[in-house]
Amino acid sequence: MKKKRSYVCDVCGYESPAWFGRCPSCNEWNTAIAFLTERDQEDSSSAAGFEAKPLSEIDGDESPRMDTRIEELNRSLGGGIVPGSAILVSGEPGIGKSTLMLQLSDLIAGEKPVLYISGEESVRQLRLRAERLRLSNKERIEVVSANEIDSLKVSGIDKYGMVVVDSLQTIRMSSVPSLPGSVVQVRECSNMLVSLAKSSDIPFLMVSHITKGGQIAGPKLVEHLVDTVLYFESSKTGYRFLRTVKNRFGPSDEIAVFEMTSEGLREVSDISSLFVEDYTSAPGNVVSVIYEGSRAFLIEVQALVSKPVYGTPRRLASGVPLERLLLVTAVLTKRAGIPLDSLDLYLNVAGGLQIEDTGVDLAIAAALVSSYTDTSLPEGVAFFGEIGLDGTVRSVSSTEKRVERAKKSSFSRIAAPEGRNGIKDVKQLLKIIGGMKSGKE
């Protein structure tokens, strides 16, 4: 084996065969770190042969998934944990990542032992957390507080049913001359852990920090390497939302809901009407049906339109991107003749949920019009639909499931762009709200 030297920037991960004083990518000084890679000179000089097979001859039998005994997590993963998969869990500090990993370890340890590698907490801290969570399989969860993970390559991990690494930013490989959490260390540790998961057929769950900008810390390569990326989000109401950003073994954009209690995370299985329990009919309050992952549920959209206190009108949006509020406002001003451009606009999604579904456009428009006209919409009406720049209301995906979900929650009247009497444009929306105000709906 012949070792080849290369230099990697410890800040951005830029790689060069020659030493550099200032990184050409991030312009930082003195960040070049020598990195040795092993290359087989004979294999590199001669082309290595490989055997290709037709796709039809490949064994397509799917390995049985591992039941986590947490229904919300099972659904987020596409039905359970796939053996040999690499799962990345990220989120804000203190949101519950380590708590979920320890609770999951306890459930998996009922069948096979679990290895828990902690680079952040000591083994005593893990024991105290386990006592607080009232874990029942503590004797089958083997914990180690270590930062160097080189020994994983030679240790017998075949006896474990799952390996948890908490976290990627606190571990290091002794062969890499860089500090834990650096771009080089995170990249090399991720490569080693993913390769180990594939070769041993044991699932690896890796906890990752996030940056101050809300992105997963480390190089983007980590998200490409792993099979599944789960992201924790929190709300002011105490709920935790586990969003599936990437999943090679199931649908992405799934969302699981947990509630943080004194004994750890508790799953909330039915979120269909969770965010509209306190809904009251008032000007600016509208119920919408959104679709996330594989299920539809109801949310309450609240809008407030008022005269500007200062010279420049304010635009604030919580729960939906500000761009969507600006888009709907521009369409209502241009196509429907409502002068919202000179007024203060405030929009909020009750419950602290972040909405990416474009089907919420119609509910935003209805809430703005309701607040502007000081009209209370009657209970039992739900809105969904996407608004185009030309003023038309376009259909969205999974319409039948949205309608079915609304009717199960006593919202029998649907304002949507589907059907013979469906809404065609925003002007028709004004007529519907006007009819509700006069009792002619």
Give the helix/strand (H/E) hosting 98. helix 97-108
Length of the chain: 441
> What pLDDT score was predicted for residue 52?
87
Mean pLDDT of the chain: 87
Alpha-carbon distance of 39 to 417, in angstroms, equals 61
Give the pLDDT band (50/70/90) at residue 41.
very low
Residue 77 reports pLDDT greater than 70 = yes
Work out the number of other CB atoms within 10 angstroms of the CB of residue 45. Answer: 7
Q: Match 């976290």 to its residue by tokens.
A: 167
Task: Among 2.60.90.10, 3.40.50.300, 1.10.10.10, 1.10.10.60, name the CATH number for the domain at 66-267.
Answer: 3.40.50.300
Alpha-carbon distance of 12 to 184, in angstroms, equals 9
> What pLDDT score was predicted for residue 149?
87
- Alpha-carbon dihedral 378, 382, 386, 392, rounded to 10 degrees: -40
How does pLDDT run across 293-328, given as a tens digit for each residue? Answer: 778 889 999 999 999 988 889 999 999 999 999 999
Give the pLDDT band (50/70/90) at residue 85.
very high
Residue 44 reports pLDDT greater than 70 = no
Residue 23 neighbours by CB under 8 Å, 6+ apart = 9, 11, 12, 14, 29, 31, 32
- Which amino acid does the sequence have at 398? S
> What pLDDT score was predicted for residue 439?
47
Do 3 and 38 contact (CB within 8 A), yes or no? yes
> What pLDDT score was predicted for residue 40?
42
User: Given its phi and psi angles, is residue 133 left (phi above 0), alpha (psi -120 to 50 degrees) or beta?
Assistant: alpha
Q: Match 């940056």 to its residue by tokens.
A: 211
Identify the sign of the CA torsion 414, 420, 421, 427. positive
Give the residue extent of every domain in the chain. Answer: 2-41, 66-267, 274-431
Do 286 and 301 contact (CB within 8 A), yes or no? yes
Residue 246 reports pLDDT greater than 90 = yes
Winning range, highest mean pLDDT, from 61-75, 77-91, 172-186, 407-421:
77-91
| Higher local confidence (pLDDT), 133 or 352 | 133
How does pLDDT run across 103-157, given as a tens digit for each residue? Answer: 999 999 999 999 999 998 999 999 999 999 999 999 999 999 888 888 776 667 8
- The mean pLDDT value for 236-264 works out to 86
Strand-by-strand arrangement of the 15-16 sheet: 15-16, 2-9, 32-39
- The mean pLDDT value for 171-200 works out to 88
274-431 maps to which CATH number?
Answer: 3.30.230.10
Alpha-carbon distance of 331 to 338, in angstroms, equals 9
pTM confidence score: 0.79
Residue 305 neighbours by CB under 8 Å, 6+ apart = 284, 340, 343, 344, 345, 346, 368, 371, 372
> What pLDDT score was predicted for residue 2?
55
Residue 3 reports pLDDT greater than 70 = no
Residue whose C-alpha is closest to residue 401's, from 384, 376, 377: 384
- What is the DSSP track for 138-183? GGGEEEEE-SB-GGGGTS--TT-SEEEEE-GGG-B-TTS-S-TTSH
